[in-house]
Amino acid sequence: MFRLMNHTMAATPSQTFNHRHLLGIEDLTRDDVYHILERAGYYIEKNREPDKKHAILKGRTIINLFFENSTRTRTSFELAGKRLGADVINMSVANSSAKKGETLIDTAMTLNAMHPDCIAVRHPESGAVHLLARKVNCSVINGGDGMHEHPTQALLDALTILQHKGKIEGLTVAICGDILHSRVARSNIKLLNLLGAKVRIIAPPTLMPAAVHSFNVEPFYDMRKGLKDCDIIMMLRLQMERMEGNFIPSVREYFHFWGLDEEKLSYAKPDALIMHPGPINRGVEIDSKLADDLNRSVILQQVEMGVAVRQAALELLLHSQ
């Protein structure tokens, strides 16, 4: 049974973290993951107190460099950095020189010359964040690169599951919907496998990746069969912005076959948790009432865990520099 650290236990992390960047779950060991999650446990408690501020990263500079829209991830990195005492600068592509034709590498080198300690990057191209990490002297955190990885999302999802179930090993987790375009699915598949969960993916054939057989998951093409007796249901948004061509006949038909409603949910275990990385599209991938059902849905707790996980990641990366 995993135990989250009580906040009175440790104001500083116990061991060093041997990574300069957090680019993907693929680079982490089980110990690394539990190290981050334990540290995040400390911040969950601190974030519920009136005074949430630390001086751990005082004097450090963090840049949020977002080439794609974001509400929760960007705000979460910003809050995480500020609560640790760092100076945080937000850059979005709408008002950056990328709009004037500057390449990703030139943007990276320019920011690097200002001596940041960490850059959190979101980019529409898979692999772009790795490329950027090779060009700068500071730590880089992947805030989502194309359809590839979104490691802090998978970590916050694991933390949310641990809060409710006390373990991940042996749980059956169903990830449902637009798997093909989802970096959240890819990072979660890696992390859940690393921690010993049984992972199912449920998708229409058009949204199932061709390489599914190399993912170490059980694929399903039917929601009722895939949800049967599962402990955790992770719903995904249709990533329309990544689709070229028609992947679904209509939104209405998609909801009928693939949207989570009471009837399909009844196939899962009675205490199954409903998760979603957000932003949710009500009535498309999830019934509005279910999304708001606080007995089943942990969507807002995922947001809360996100800040704690990002504080832990920032602290561990910057402390080991």
Q: Please give the residue whose beta carbon sits closest to ligand NCD in the complex.
A: 237
Q: Which of residues 142-171 bind ligand NCD (CB under 6 A)?
A: 144, 150, 153
Residue 278 found at the interface with ligand NCD (CB under 6 A): yes
Say whether residue 120 binds ligand NCD (CB under 6 A).
no
Cα separation, 185 vs 209, whole angstroms: 11
Residue from 7, 20, 72, 269 binding ligand NCD (CB under 6 A): 72
For ligand NCD, which is the closer residue by CB, 153 or 160?
Answer: 153
Instruction: Give the integer Cα–Cα distance in Å for 139 and 18.
Output: 12
Q: Is 39 in the site for ligand NCD (CB under 6 A)?
A: no
CB of 281 to ligand NCD, least distance (A): 9
Q: Which residues are catalytic?
A: 72-73, 100, 122, 150
Contacts (Cβ under 8 Å, ≥6 apart) of 95: none
Contact of 257 with 220, CB cutoff 8 Å? no
- What's the min distance (Å) between Cβ of 229 and ligand NCD? 26
- The secondary element (H helix, E strand) that includes residue 162 is helix 151-165
Q: How far apart are CA 159 and CA 40, in angstroms?
A: 8
Question: Does 242 sit near ligand NCD (CB under 6 A)?
Answer: no
SS3 166: coil
Q: Does 187 bind ligand NCD (CB under 6 A)?
A: no
Question: Measured between alpha carbons, how far is 315 from 36 in angstroms, rounded to an integer?
Answer: 9
Separation of alpha carbons 97 and 107, rounded Å: 7
Q: CB-wise, 90 or 239, nearer to ligand NCD?
A: 239
Q: Is 116 in the site for ligand NCD (CB under 6 A)?
A: no
Sketch the per residue contact string, 193 through 232, with ligand NCD: x for CB under 6 A, - otherwise: ----------------------------------------
What is the residue type of 179?
Answer: I
